[in-house]
A and B are shown apart, each in its own frame.
Chain A
Amino acid sequence: MALLQIAEPEAASGPREPRRAVGIDLGTTNSLVATVCDGVPRALPDEEGRVLLPSIVRYLPGGGVQVGYEAQAHQGDDPKNTIASVKRLMGRGLKDVARSGNAPYDFVDAPGMVQLRTVAGVKSPVEVSAEILRVLRLRAERALGGPLAGAVVTVPAYFDDAQRQATRDAARLAGLEVLRLLNEPTAAAVAYGLENAAEGVYAVFDLGGGTFDFSVLRLARGVFEVLATAGDAALGGDDFDLRIARWALAQAGLGEPAAKDARRLVLAARAAKERLAQQDETPLVCELADGRRLERVLSRATFERLTADLVDRTLAPVARALRDAGLSPADVKGVVMVGGATRMRHVQRAVAEFFGRAPLNDLDPDQVVALGAAMQANVLAGNRPAGEDWLLLDVIPLSLGIETMGGLVERIIPRNSAIPTARAQEFTTFKDGQTAMSIHVVQGERELVADCRSLARFELRGIPPMPAGAARVRVTFQVDADGLLSVSAREKSSGVEASVAVKPSYGLTESDIERMLRDSVEHAREDAQARALAEARVEGERLAAAVRAAIAADGALLAADERAELERLLAHLDAALPGADTAAIRRAADALNRASEPFAARRMDAAVRRALAGRSLADLDV
């Protein structure tokens, strides 16, 4: 069993001061910060009581920076220095950005990530995001009364490594210790406590201000795995506002309005849309720049007719993601609604109809991601209430296993296993009288040791001499919550043990992991062939050794021609073994195996006779 060290007392007397940790939803349109107070997750408001912070940063001449509503107010008159939707630029190159259309910024090409020329100099999306995160950090520190222990920052499930790294860098730049990046749909599911729910498939329907994301998650043993994502990067609540504004203009017989009027009208339209979530009809009032007053009454029925096609557009990615995951709507056990735009009644209705069940919508859809992130941050910071189970959300990126005979990998912990975890498997000796076993710990998805990454080697010595296959060596892999692997081996009959501790992810960058995964897919076929060859060789060598040992021990039982035939087949197998022809090795081994069967039977009879010789029936315990 494990050896323990003496630990420092865990402030056993008196409750420990909770460590302040927050969850941050860094959104395309809005961002917010939440924390867990007295066991309840809560979004933290600014000094004016507003929870949402528009994800907009304005750079002023002379180095000043405005973030949020202040910056939003200048979106119209200072577009080049007022950066909105910076999340779309995170980790993207100029080429990616140019494709996505006509943002009003001065893009500067830079290696790795596009940059923006502003009045305050060239800024990277990381720096812009850091400004938003800094405001949220200061808000949280003021509310919680001290520096933060750390933050969980959410990212879309489809974010690639570069985008995730950029988000992490932005948080670091903003003075935040990133406890973990968490997928947004996972955070939403955590907020609804689904990690304690029945295992199964859940979906997250996230209709934000300007983007739509749909994710299919599988919950197994308290861990969410993202099965599929789909979405529309140019569909959100803003499109619904525009439809209302256009309708109002058409009703009033007005043409394209001036920029300032358009902006006012859209704000009025948005307010009307939000009221329609509660009311059946609502007035839409807007004063235009020339003093005219636009006044209409908008009914919910009209609104729903105007925007029905937008709602339909959300269902195409939903169907696509389910198809990718190989699932039907009926397989989904629950649908979590995220994003302010999911408050609209006809969106809720469409989702309910599609899945045949009412969506989960009792948490504030604007806050649900941040609330889930806060819950996760609270656990990671070590404020877990006594008795509550550890929230398992991390998985092992690559499989862990050991080398077996023939340079093959025996996987012990498969990739995507949740940590902490412990798995054990029994192995045995290959040769008669083998007293030591070398244990080689490797990481990767390939079948051959040579193609995987070597993590550690250690030896188990002192195995009592036994026939091959009789020793029972239990190898246990244990990965703790920080991803630290320890491997121990124990021979059961003698109790000898040996162990080693390694950090599997140490020195492995995300791109290494990605490359190793890609290799495993690309080489799956040749790996299978290599594995078959190695297995045939191991099997053939074992058989040859066994037949030779039998001839040496009981050669007297063989007639001369039988013996010659076995020798011939042995030589034949010996010749085939070093070759690369799996089938030839198998054939040679099979031939030897068949030819030696009568010999084996005779040896068995002889052994039984020897055992029984000189004993009466009464001595036998039958």
Chain B
Amino acid sequence: MAVTLTENAAAHVKRHLARRGKGVGLRVGVRTSGCSGLAYRLEYADAVNPDDLEFESHGVKVVVDAKSLPYLDGTELDYAREGLNEGFRFRNPNVKDQCGCGESFNV
């Protein structure tokens, strides 16, 4: 059971956290929304809650709440650049299909 970051993604998270000046790591989760049911949550983690699981990846602490983990297990986060945009991309092996926009997905 794990959620991991690529080296590139980890470097970006570290940079973002340093610029923000606080936070213990990166919180990854899912919430219900969007056209296909679930959407990713990607936030700074300021604290680790009792029902959270922690993973260490290239020196970054990744925090996932227990409820989200089944949807995210095995996910690797990458940092990518596409034309004008850059940001984090979820490589989630659990996804069955996703909506056209990619904001939401189904497992």
Binding site for B on A (CB under 8 A): 1-10, 12-13, 387, 422-424, 458, 474, 476, 478, 486, 488, 497-500
Q: Which of B46, B83, B89 is most buried by chain A, counting CB atoms within 10 A of its CB?
A: B83
- In the complex, whether B55 has a CB less than 8 A from a CB of chain A is no
Across the interface, do B43 and A8 meet the contact criterion of CB distance under 8 Å?
Answer: yes
Asked if A9 and B46 make an inter-chain contact with CB atoms under 8 angstroms apart, the answer reads yes
Query: A6 and B44 in contact (CB under 8 A), knowing A1-B98, A387-B32, A478-B101?
Result: yes
**Contacts A5-B42, A422-B99, A488-B101 given; 9 further ones with Cβ under 8 A?**
A1-B89, A3-B80, A9-B43, A424-B100, A486-B101, A497-B83, A498-B82, A499-B83, A499-B85
Task: Report how far A497 CA is from B35 CA in the complex, Å.
Answer: 20
Closest to B84 in A: A500
| Distance between Cα atoms of A8 and B90 in the complex (Å) | 18
A112 to B101 CA separation, bound complex (whole angstroms): 44
B: which residues have CB within 8 A of A? 13, 16, 26-27, 32, 35, 40-47, 49, 80, 82-90, 98-103
If the complex has contacts A9-B27, A10-B43, are A3 and B99 also in contact, measured as CB distance less than 8 A? Answer: no
Q: Are A2 and B102 in contact (CB-based, < 8 A)?
A: yes
CA distance A293 to B41 in the complex (A): 74
Per the bound structure, the CA–CA distance linking A492 and B82 in Å amounts to 16
Q: What residues of A have a CB within 8 angstroms of the CB of B43 in the complex?
A: 6-10, 12
* A13-B49, A422-B100 known; A6+B83 contact, CB < 8 A: no
Contacts A8-B43, A488-B101: A3 and B16 contacting too (C-beta < 8 A)? no
In the assembled complex, 21 residue pairs joining A and B whose CB atoms fall closer than 8 Å, in A order, are: A2-B87, A2-B103, A3-B80, A3-B82, A3-B86, A3-B88, A4-B89, A4-B90, A6-B13, A6-B16, A6-B26, A7-B41, A7-B42, A7-B43, A8-B43, A474-B100, A478-B100, A497-B82, A497-B83, A498-B83, A499-B85
Main secondary structure of the interface of A (DSSP, over half): strand
**A423 to B101, alpha carbons, bound, how many Å?**
9
For B100, the chain A residues whose CB sits under 8 A away are 422-424, 474, 476, 478
Residue of A nearest to B95 (CB): A1
Cα A458 to Cα B98 in complex, Å, equals 24
State A7–B44 Cα separation when bound (angstroms).
6
What residues on A are CB-neighbors of B49 within 8 Å? Answer: 12-13
Q: How far is the CA of A6 from the CA of B79 in the complex (A)?
A: 11
A12 to B63, CA, bound (A): 13
**A237 CB, nearest partner CB in chain B, Å:** 45
Given known pairs A6-B13, A498-B82, the reply for A1 and B88 (CB within 8 Å) is: no
- List residues of chain A with CB within 8 A of the CB of B89: 1, 3-4
CA distance A458 to B85 in the complex (A): 13
Residues of B contacting A5 in the complex (Cβ-Cβ under 8 angstroms):
42, 87-88
Residues in B neighbouring A424, C-beta threshold 8 A: 100
On chain B, the residues within 8 Å of A500 by CB distance are: 83-84
Nearest-neighbour CB distance to chain A for B41, whole angstroms, equals 8
Q: Which residues of B contact A8 (CB under 8 A)?
A: 43-44
List residues of chain A with CB within 8 A of the CB of B26: 6
CB <8 Å contact, B87 and A3: yes
Q: How far is the CB of A106 from chain B (nearest CB, A)?
A: 56
Q: Which of chain A's residues have a CB closer than 8 A to the CB of B86?
A: 3
The complex places the Cα of A88 from the Cα of B20 at a distance, in Å, of 53
CA distance A171 to B54 in the complex (A): 49
A7 nearest CB neighbor, chain B only:
B43
**Ordered nearest first, which 4 A-B pairs have the shortest CB separation?**
A1-B102, A3-B87, A424-B100, A2-B102
Asked if residues A3 and B44 are in contact (CB atoms below 8 Å), the reply is no
Contacts of A497 in B (CB 8 A): 82-83
Task: Name the CB-closest residue of B to A11.
Answer: B46
Question: How near does chain A come to B82, taking the closest CB pair, in angstroms?
Answer: 6
Residues of chain A contacted by B27 (CB below 8 angstroms): 9, 12
Flag if A458 contacts B44 (CB, 8 Å).
Answer: no
Contacts of B40 in A (CB 8 A): 4
A422 pairs with B45, CB closer than 8 A: no
Closest beta carbon of chain B to A221's beta carbon, Å: 12
Residues on B with C-beta less than 8 A from A7 are: 41-44
Which A-chain residue is minimally distant from B92 (CB atoms)?
A1
Cβ of B34 to closest chain A Cβ, rounded Å: 9
**Quick check: B88 and A476 within 8 Å, CB to CB?**
no
CA distance A499 to B16 in the complex (A): 24
Nearest CB in chain A to that of B49: its residue: A13
A422 to B102, CA, bound (A): 10
Contact of B82 among A6, A9, A478, A499 (CB under 8 A): A499
A499, B88: Cβ atoms under 8 Å? Answer: no
Contacts of B42 in A (CB 8 A): 4-7
Given A458-B83, A497-B82, A499-B83: A2 and B46 interface contact (C-beta under 8 Å): no
Expressed in whole angstroms, the minimum distance between the Cβ of B33 and any Cβ of chain A is 8
Do residues B101 and A4 form an inter-chain contact, with CB atoms below 8 A? Answer: no
B35 & A422 in contact (Cβ 8 Å cutoff):
yes
Cβ–Cβ contact B101 & A422, under 8 A: yes
Q: Tell me whether B47 and A2 are in contact (CB under 8 A).
A: no
CA gap between A498 and B83 in the complex, in Å: 6
The answer for the CA separation of A499 and B102 in the assembled complex, in Å, is 12
A249 to chain B, nearest CB (A): 64
| Contact partners of B83 in chain A: CB under 8 A | 458, 497-500
Which residue, A6, A8, A422, A474, has most C-beta atoms of chain B within 10 A? A6
